[in-house]
Structure 1
Amino acid sequence: MSILSRPDAREPLVEPALDAPVARARRTPPASGRRTGSGPFPTARARRRYLLVLGGLIVLSLAFGAGYLAIDNPMPVGSEGFWIIAKLRVSTVVVMLLVAFCQALGTVAFQTVTNNRIITPSIMGFESLYRAIQTSAVYLLGVAGLASLEGTWQFVLQIAAMMGLSTLLYGWLLSGKYANMQVMLLIGIIIGGGLGSVATFMQRLLTPSEFDILTARMFGSIANADLEQLPIAIPLIVVAGGLLLLRSRRLNVLSLGKEQATNLGLDHRREVILVLLLVSVLMAVSTAMIGPMTFFGFLVATLAYQAADTYDHRYVLPVAFLLGFVVLSGAYFLMKHVFYAQGLVSIIIELVGGIAFLVVILRKGRL
């Protein structure tokens, strides 16, 4: 008996005839911009768009950084005095890079593990704790208390206090049998509100001059950074940020949710706690170094999601970092060299970030 006539033959040797439209579709190569297949970018056009966005952000970062260093330099270009002033400004650019790195990576990673794009790490009470520490120093020690918080050891103690708060919350609320992310966020909000109320109460007991000096420290500003803190801040930021970048693929899995991540073989609870601890390091260093910037990270993360237009954190995180530096350095450049109002930078960034937050809230159903 021929194999073609065997009743148990499972597959025919000859492919069945195709309809004319189907045959043409198989023979016709996919059109440009309609490439099929899985990956971080659904089409070749999306990949080209991402590369253009990334290249544009790199150019803007270099332009704003170079402009901040060179423009409005009273010395002739290339002279010894010119390079002395430029080197003094380099430290400011370095602080901007560190803050943008911390806020961007910390916010994107925090939103991923919480599966919520309308919250920021400040919800855990870091900034309220910073305000409480600064206010307590002035309340107990007077104006000299602020000066006592500017040293290296005081910087380390502030970071340790913020890390201790976060470790307590994560270890207590995410390691138990009934671990719950929503309960952790709610308790973080309550603790932040309580610390804010204590700080407000102490501020009302200060003299007008003490309150005026303290108010200047309540807004995030690059001028608050101390160069002596950089040898401690840079290693912490590099280690925490590097580990987050190395775990980009795991962040992709965490973004699917607890059930899907567990089914794919990922220890969801362990990964969430580890990522939150790394985020805590980044946010604690940034807040202790320059002060609170509540909506800056949210603004950068929201723009990064729209600009990168991909789910893959390997591509979202670099865009978020570059966007953070462009927003921060561009704001300082414009306010210093165009409007001559450098002290208003953080206020304007917070205002724009707050407006973006309200827009996202109103459009939540379509995001």
Structure 2
Amino acid sequence: MRNNALKLGILAVLSIICIALFGLYDIKGSFDYAFPRRMIRVMAMIVTGVAIAYSTVVFQTITHNRILTPSVMGLDSMYMVVQTLIYFFLGSSSILVINKYFNFGISIIAMVLFALLLYRILFRADKHTIYFLLLVGMILGTLLGSITTFMQVIIDPNEYTALQNKMFASFNNVNGDLVWVAAAILLVAFIYGYTIMNKLDVMSLGRETAMNLGVNYDRIVMNVLILSSVLIATSTALVGPIMFFGLIVANLSYQFFATYKHTVLIAGASLISIIALVGGQFIVEHVFEFSTTLSVIINFIGGVYFIYLLLKESRAAG
């Protein structure tokens, strides 16, 4: 336990260093103008990283594997379907586009309903193998992606141009008004999550064991799925979809902290997320000079890591 506390302390220090570098390095012009705007972006990265880390760890607990994530199962694709439908049928002048709060709310509702559908079909029986779940997730993601692509091909070119801002994750034009709403949602999620943390520790032992120890398994799974979908919707509405990020930070946390305690795993994954996003964005801006984007780097590394985990799981099963 002391060893894990030391590791968390090191990660916390590295997070603070990354935040300080991003906020203070090479400020040109007015400090009073530049610094607050940088910190809004830092706040958005922290909220996004923590939301993705939190939702991925608890999602993997209820699915009992370390490869599935809400994004892999198609929740990010559902977000893009919602945005494309809005632009396709209502246009960029719709109140659902202009009013960020309406857009935010519609996205969350759609993703929660999608998560509940996944629960009813896949997770309640708790009998499907990881490969079946991955296959279903890929099929759902491909289906939703095909629907999105079809509508984007026939949509008005002007509307498609406006829609492109929703298609890729970006930390350069963060909506400052939504940052505080997202932070409030994250705080509520943490308060609820803290009350079920011990139950999640027990659920990691398996469905039958958890039920024998008095855990209302089905209800907790339902609540965690809703919680995960809300957090993914929150992070995606802020900056856009980042498919493999949760997979990376969650599995790094599992390897770095040899424990079953979700308080440690979630805290570790959250700190790793902050370091990766804030430090990565600093490198993109000041080393690569915007020649690439952070989401492209994350998706490339995450895709390679995803294949590695699949091969590792296949060898273990064989």
Q: TM-score, normalised by structure 2?
A: 0.88
Give 1:51's aligned residue: 5
C-alpha contact (below 8 Å) 1:241/1:282 kept by paired residues:
no
Structure 2 CA distance for partners of 1:224 and 1:251, relative to 1, 3 Å: farther
Spell out the pairing of 1:216-365 with structure 2 (5 A cutoff): 216-223=165-172, 225-341=174-290, 344-364=293-313, 365=315
Identity of aligned residues (%): 37
Aligned-CA RMSD value: 2.7
Change (3 A) 1:218 1:145: farther
Query: Residue 293 of structure 2: SS of its match in structure 1?
Result: helix
* Number of the residue aligned with 1:30: none
1:98 aligns with 2:47: yes
**Secondary structure of 1:160's partner?**
helix
> Are residue 62 (structure 1) and residue 26 (structure 2) matched?
no
Letter in 2 for 1:74: K
Q: Which has the higher contact order (CA 8 A, sep 6+)?
A: 2
Gap regions ≥5 residues in structure 2 = none
Match of 1:20 in 2: none
When you count helix as a share of all residues, which structure comes out higher?
2
TM-score, reference length from structure 1: 0.77
Q: Following the alignment from structure 2 to structure 1, what is the Cα–Cα distance between the partners of residues 86 and 160?
A: 12
> Residue 108 of structure 1 aligns with which residue?
57
Summarize the alignment of residues 133-144 of structure 1 with structure 2, pairs less than 5 Å apart: 133-141=82-90, 144=93
Conserved 8 A contact 2:55-2:228: yes
- Deviation of 1:86 after TM superposition, in Å, equals 0.7
2:47 aligned with 1:125, yes or no? no
Asked if structure 2 preserves the Cα contact closer than 8 Å seen for 1:241 and 1:278, the reply is no
Q: Is the 8 A contact 2:79 2:233 kept in 1?
A: no
Q: Please say if residues 240 and 279 of structure 1, whose CA atoms lie closer than 8 Å, have aligned partners that are also in contact.
A: no
Q: What SS is found at the alignment partner of 2:65?
A: coil
Give the Cα separation in 2 of the matches to 1:153 and 1:207: 23
- What is the distance in 1 between the residues matched to 2:110 and 2:172? 22
8 Å CA contact 1:163–1:280 kept in 2: the answer is yes
Q: Secondary structure at the match of 2:71?
A: helix
Letter in 2 for 1:64: C
How far 1:210 sits from its partner (Å)?
5.2
Residues 67-99 of structure 1 deviation map (CA, whole Å, 9 limit, x = unaligned): 111112014xxxxx3133211111101101100
Give the letter for the 2:301 counterpart. V
Cα distance in 1 between the residues matched to 2:137 and 2:305? 23
What is the distance in 1 between the residues matched to 2:221 and 2:87? 37
Q: Is the 8 A contact 1:142 1:210 kept in 2?
A: yes
Q: Distance in 1 between matches of 2:170 and 2:291?
A: 10
Higher-Rg structure is 1
Q: Is the 8 A contact 2:43 2:179 kept in 1?
A: no
Q: Contact (CA 8 Å) 1:61, 1:326: kept in 2 or not?
A: yes
